Amino acid sequence: MAEDEVIDFDEAKRPHVFRRKEDKVKAIKQAFTAARKEAAQTAKPKPKRKRKNKGKRRK
């Protein structure tokens, strides 16, 4: 049996495993983006805080 005919299964499956992981990450990102858009539409706007003008302090 020649050395050229030996198949390294770990090396052969690595691109497929990487692709599955990338697809999973892409799906999670899309779900997160959709959830953020939905939350942004239903969220009430927060009123801005009013600052008191204290002026300069004297020592």
Instruction: Render pLDDT for 2-36 as a digit per residue (tens, 0 to 9).
Output: 667 888 899 999 999 999 999 999 999 999 999 99
Instruction: Render pLDDT for 32-48 as a digit per residue (tens, 0 to 9).
Output: 999 998 888 877 777 88
Structure token pair of residue 34:
């959709």
pTM of the model: 0.55
Confidence check: pLDDT of 58 > 90: no
Our measurement of the distance from residue 6's CA atom to the centroid of its chain's CA atoms, rounded to an integer in Å, reads 39
Q: Whole-angstrom Cα distance, residue 47 to residue 50? A: 9
